[in-house]
Structure 1
């Protein structure tokens, strides 16, 4: 079903040995939030009663701090942008638009003034804003299109990229719905339970239409490693998480492919998640030493289309 087999090593811009796509899913922007508090209490219960990895006291301290002295919404984004700027890197942030006050819904409104300030920070840093496809909008072209329109109306941003919440994906329905909604690229294609490229895809590709066998118009930027996979789903700590991530990244680098990282914004500046931020910083240091071409998804999408067109011309 997936087109463009990874048999040819791309000639990335500037002669870079591989490309790097840094991305962040914005599930929430505020600490003091009802569903976050409930989730924290449920996590403490699991830590105490089910033997889940982690420290209940640290989780409780984090919950108390979020209630008494919540972080400014902009702080985590400032930290991310500063970490990436050390290496001259720029990234993409996917903004969630979905139903409010639902378990898997949105935790903020697109009209929140704090989000507007965050968007300006991202754009001033040369980053990109895309859509985080809502759980309750899954595979619905009209709902995806509504999210694009809402983002444009609220922030003046015309999103060209999307990644679905919780990496929800079905083939080919997800691609067809996203394409019908007007998106140019997707960044959902990956695993949540283990690091490494899904189906061995190490470079961007155009999926094939299930009936005609012809490439779709939407481009896929496949995922390599997600933070949640390492720390929650696999239960790894800092050093072990770093090496597990690098074991998944190294083959993509060797193939001259696209390394895609997904790190959530709310794991920065957090005592409970200190390994998450530490691992992200160490990964960027290792990657920067290898001189990749790093760009937001929209630029990678545009470059790949031109590269493919030149190769077929």
Structure 2
């Protein structure tokens, strides 16, 4: 069990459709302030499975950079974006688990209205569409669940205002998993608060993890999960998205400094921190440096005494239904397959006064400003695709 203190938060703003708004549900919403036993803070690991097959989208990438490389992946059938097993092995090696949010998109020509057919962006997105019920995808999703990872909903692009579609996508995913889905995150973080959260509740989901930014990293919506309806439904604000970080290939120290600053801020505030790494970013050829940075974030979190796991495991660990204000209630430490209280036996990589982001005695940056994504990053955010090990179908 964990101690839970309900606190009314101040107004929080959300960027929605280019306009900054303050949803009424957040103006006085209580917070879920709870940590698993002996944890300095919580670090929730998440992955949005946007595009597990690169396929013909490589032609689009070839028009933007490295045409020879991208054309070779198309012609050879190589699929560098299938990274399920690689990420599972990395996390298993570190003794942690994460959440994987899965898309179940409509077919552009069969399911969407004709007005959507003329938008080039819709065709770029459609080229990477995948079927969650296919043998290959369903098999890896079941392997994730069986191995202790969480598989959740990645609400498709048009679902923010479509409760029927959210219910349909949730039901389809549950049929694949042969079990319930606990929560999810909206594709492109497209959110209509608080209505989308209400639709999640109607679909039987316990949480959403869409509240965040695609361009800035930070605790913009507070240090703790939000209860927008003052009930059991929880919103996990997003702290870090991979594409919002400085490019770790070109600016590795800046990327680590950004992550380290936020990890230390989380530890200082007993925070629940959430990070998103798209599976395609683990392809070293396509996005060099991201795989090592992700490992470093987990290891640094362990050094700082974080509990690390999926949002579902966090809710299980703190027992979100316990009586608010119970000072004696603490959550039991769990094993790695359910998230873990992972203060480790390994020696810290940095001594006091040194910069852990460089592995040496360089002074840590005191710049508290937001680090923005590099405009030169390979694989434009416009495409926003995740790819896979195997060729396009």
Scaled by the length of structure 1, the TM-score of the pair is: 0.82
Contact 2:54 2:79 in 1 (8 A): yes
Cα distance in 1 for partners of 2:69, 2:80 equals 17
Gaps of 5+ in 2: 1-24, 109-121, 328-393
Cα RMSD for the two superposed structures: 2.6
Larger Rg: 2
Is 1:171 matched with 2:197? no
The structure whose RCO (Cα within 8 Å, separation 6+) is larger is 2
Is 1:130 matched with 2:138? no
Query: Which residues of 2 match residues 147-158 of structure 1 at below 5 A?
Result: 147-158=169-180
Query: Which residues of 2 match residues 41-60 of structure 1 at below 5 A?
Result: 41-42=62-63, 44=64, 56-57=65-66, 60=68
Contact 1:20 1:295 in 2 (8 A): yes
Residue 260 of structure 2, aligned match among 226, 240, 246: 246
Q: Which residue of 1 aligns with 2:323?
A: 309
Q: Which residue of 1 aligns with 2:72?
A: 64
Residue 285 of structure 1, aligned match among 280, 295, 299: 299
Cα distance in 2 for partners of 1:223, 1:109 equals 27
Q: Please give the secondary structure, in 2, of the residue aligned with 1:311.
A: coil
Contact 1:128 1:296 in 2 (8 A): yes
Determine which structure has the larger helix proportion and give its number.
Answer: 1
Cα distance in 1 for partners of 2:255, 2:203 equals 36
Q: Which residue of 1 aligns with 2:289?
A: 275
Is 1:120 matched with 2:142? yes
Cα distance in 1 for partners of 2:275, 2:227 equals 20
Q: Which residue of 2 aligns with 1:185?
A: 207
Cα distance in 2 for partners of 1:217, 1:291 equals 27
- Kindly state the Cα deviation for residue 231 of structure 1 after the two structures are TM-superposed: 5.0
Cα distance in 1 for partners of 2:167, 2:31 equals 30
Cα distance in 2 for partners of 1:178, 1:39 equals 34
Could you list the per-position Cα deviations for residues 288-308 of structure 1 after superposition, in whole angstroms to 9, with x for gaps in the alignment?
Answer: 222321222212223445365
Contact 1:100 1:108 in 2 (8 A): no
Could you list the per-position Cα deviations for residues 16-69 of structure 1 after superposition, in whole angstroms to 9, with x for gaps in the alignment?
Answer: 11111100000111222x3x2343134x1xxxxxxxxxxx33x64144224314
- Kindly state the Cα deviation for residue 262 of structure 1 after the two structures are TM-superposed: 0.3
Cα distance in 2 for partners of 1:157, 1:307 equals 21
Query: Which residues of 2 match residues 23-102 of structure 1 at below 5 A?
Result: 23-32=46-55, 34=56, 36-42=57-63, 44=64, 56-57=65-66, 60-71=68-79, 76-101=83-108, 102=122
Could you list the per-position Cα deviations for residues 54-105 of structure 1 after superposition, in whole angstroms to 9, with x for gaps in the alignment?
Answer: xx33x641442243141387x5111111111222110110001111344445
Q: Which runs of 4+ in 1 moved over 4 A?
A: none
Residue 42 of structure 2, aligned match among 19, 25, 31: 19
Q: Please give the secondary structure, in 2, of the residue aligned with 1:13.
A: coil
Contact 1:40 1:60 in 2 (8 A): no
Q: Please give the secondary structure, in 2, of the residue aligned with 1:293.
A: strand
Contact 1:29 1:266 in 2 (8 A): yes
Residue 206 of structure 1, aligned match among 223, 227, 241: 227
- Kindly state the Cα deviation for residue 154 of structure 1 after the two structures are TM-superposed: 2.8
User: For the structure 1 residues 291 and 222, does the alpha-carbon distance in structure 2 shift closer, same or farther, using more than 3 Å as the test?
Assistant: same
How many residues matched?
286
User: Bigger CA drift: 130-139 or 101-110?
Assistant: 101-110
Residue 108 of structure 1, aligned match among 113, 130, 143: 130
Q: Which residue of 2 aligns with 1:229?
A: 244
User: For the structure 1 residues 272 and 124, does the alpha-carbon distance in structure 2 shift closer, same or farther, using more than 3 Å as the test?
Assistant: same
Contact 1:139 1:173 in 2 (8 A): yes
Scaled by the length of structure 2, the TM-score of the pair is: 0.66
Cα distance in 2 for partners of 1:97, 1:278 equals 30
Could you list the per-position Cα deviations for residues 270-292 of structure 1 after superposition, in whole angstroms to 9, with x for gaps in the alignment?
Answer: 31301221211211121122232
